[in-house]
């Protein structure tokens, strides 16, 4: 893949330029937002640049899709209305009734809900497994397994799965490996280069990066899977609109510098929390005693800006920290420039209560933003004070 001419430039050069040549008629340096549903034809069937109707293709979305493919080193990028719309297009293209999917034991709650509540009704079966245990993944494989679904790092426990190992297990069984790369972003991890078949993103998070848009993406390694999914994207219709595509396109230009700032702040916070008496454990793959540290160091170029920690004082203490923080905003979602704090048990993962995906009640999740580290540390210090 990396010998492809499109990937000859560095990551941030690709983020700024891939799919975004200056406009040939006006010279505009940034991609315009093409607010149009349809396109004039020069004679019947005479399309200019292949555009006929904006569900099928829109130039702003095309630019984003090319940029996404370039960042993930894939053949085909597709932009959707949300991360879950992208997941839906993938699952419905790859799975038919009677097929089986292996899911992460701590999958993103929306992914688990989509498979367990929507697809289960259509006869798609699933098994949640600890993806860090390749033998357990192998044991969960059935003759009907079509897809192994991976998240690494996971939400909110920051568990790490070995992408190359999972690709070998999935391919040995004739299944595809899908990796939800939302937490790492392509700046830190490029699953297609490690053997994954398709990458999934909630572009709402780090790719958009400014908490101002909801979007999703798929990128495939292989052009023929890309063609099948692009057919579904048009046939099912949950495409990204031009304004949303433009916001993500703008966001990814600074992905590299933002990720460096996110993870530098996360490293400072991990060190601070590890030494704090009110904190019983810190979950961040950059810590040498994190169980996934070695695999993360092998397959990621950095450890990212998501960090969770557990409170010695239990759920009450966890809720108190969330409510006392002021620079950290109490909110769901992640990946924006501003720091967020949340209580997964009562917020993002409340729907997992009583399921195999239930999270500890004493857990707090941080999406570490790019504010000044001193302000973030001081805020946590006062929020954790007795």
Binding footprint of ligand PLP on the chain (CB under 6 A): 82-84, 108, 110-111, 151, 155, 180, 182-183, 202, 204-205, 214, 216
- 205 a catalytic residue: yes
| Cα separation, 242 vs 237, whole angstroms | 14
Contacts by 329-332 with C-beta closer than 8 Å and gap 24+? none
Confirm whether 310 is a catalytic residue. no
Of the candidates 99, 162, 180, 197, the residue annotated as catalytic is 180
Q: Report the residue closest to ligand PLP, judged by CB.
A: 83
Q: Let me know if 117 is a catalytic residue.
A: no
60 vs 264: CA distance, rounded Å: 33
Q: Which is nearer to ligand PLP, 116 or 182 (CB)?
A: 182
Minimal distance, residue 205 CB to ligand PLP, in Å: 6
Query: In whole angstroms, how close is the CB of 137 to ligand PLP at the nearest point?
Result: 19
CA–CA gap between residue 371 and residue 386 (Å, rounded): 25
For ligand PLP, give the closer residue by CB, 248 or 376. 248
Q: Which two tokens stand for residue 95?
A: 């799975």
- Residue 51 or 203: the one with the smaller Cβ distance to ligand PLP is 203
Q: Classify 32 as helix, strand or coil.
A: coil
Q: How far apart are CA 95 and CA 292, in angstroms?
A: 30
Q: Of these residues, 39, 61, 106, 108, which one is catalytic?
A: 108
> Minimal distance in Å, beta carbon 244 to ligand PLP?
11
HEC-encoded secondary structure of 335-384: CCCCCEEECCCCCCCHHHCCCCCCCCCCEEEEECCCCCHHHHHHHHHHHH
Catalytic: 298?
no
The Cα 359–Cα 372 span in angstroms is 30
Instruction: Choose between 124 and 317: whose C-beta lies nearer to ligand PLP.
Output: 124
6: number of Cβ within 10 Å: 15
Least gap, CB of 214 to ligand PLP (angstroms): 5
What span, in angstroms and rounded, lies between the C-alpha atoms of 15 and 185?
A: 12
Which residues are 219's β-sheet partners?
A: 77, 199
For 133, residues 6+ apart whose C-beta sits below 8 A from its C-beta are: none
Q: How far is the CB of 57 from ligand PLP (least distance, A)?
A: 22
Nearer to ligand PLP, 193 or 202 (CB): 202
Q: Which of 14, 61, 146, 205 is catalytic?
A: 205
Toward ligand PLP, which CB reaches closer, 15 or 79? 79
Q: Minimum CB separation from ligand PLP for residue 202, in Å?
A: 3
Active site residues: 55, 108, 180, 205
């Amino acid at each position: 893949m990396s010998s492809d001419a499109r990937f000859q430039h560095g990551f941030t050069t690709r983020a700024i330029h891939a799919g975004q040549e200056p406009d040939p008629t006006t010279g505009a340096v940034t991609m315009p937002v093409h607010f149009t549903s349809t396109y004039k034809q020069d004679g019947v069937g005479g399309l200019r640049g292949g555009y006929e109707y904006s569900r099928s293709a829109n130039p702003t979305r095309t630019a984003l899709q090319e940029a996404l493919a370039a960042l993930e080193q894939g053949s085909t990028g597709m932009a959707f209305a949300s991360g879950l719309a992208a997941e839906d297009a993938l699952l419905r293209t790859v799975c038919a009734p009677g097929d089986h999917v292996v899911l992460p034991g701590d999958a993103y709650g929306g992914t688990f809900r989509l498979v367990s509540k929507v697809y289960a009704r259509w006869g798609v079966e699933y098994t949640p497994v600890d993806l860090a245990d390749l033998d357990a993944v192998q044991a969960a494989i059935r003759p009907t397994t079509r897809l192994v679904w991976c998240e690494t790092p996971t939400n909110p426990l920051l568990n790490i799965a070995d992408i190359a190992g999972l690709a070998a297990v999935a391919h040995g069984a004739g299944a595809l490996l899908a990796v939800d790369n939302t937490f790492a972003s392509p700046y830190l991890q490029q699953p297609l280069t490690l053997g994954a078949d398709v990458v999934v993103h909630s572009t709402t998070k780090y790719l958009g990066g400014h908490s101002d848009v909801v979007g999703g993406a798929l990128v495939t390694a292989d052009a023929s899977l890309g063609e099948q999914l692009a057919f579904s994207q048009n046939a099912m219709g949950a495409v990204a609109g031009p304004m949303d595509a433009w916001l993500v396109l703008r966001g990814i230009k600074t992905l590299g510098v933002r990720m460096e700032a996110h993870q530098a702040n996360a490293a400072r916070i991990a060190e601070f929390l590890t030494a704090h008496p009110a904190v019983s454990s810190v979950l961040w793959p950059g810590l040498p005693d994190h169980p996934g540290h070695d695999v993360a160091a092998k397959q990621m170029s950095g450890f990212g800006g998501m960090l969770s920690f557990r409170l010695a004082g239990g759920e009450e203490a966890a809720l108190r920290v969330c409510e006392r923080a002021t620079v950290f905003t109490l909110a769901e979602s992640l990946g924006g420039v501003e720091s967020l704090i949340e209580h997964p048990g009562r917020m993002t993962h409340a729907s997992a209560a009583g399921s195999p995906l239930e999270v500890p009640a004493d857990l707090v999740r941080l999406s570490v933003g790019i504010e000044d580290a001193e302000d973030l540390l001081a805020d946590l210090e006062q929020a954790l004070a007795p």
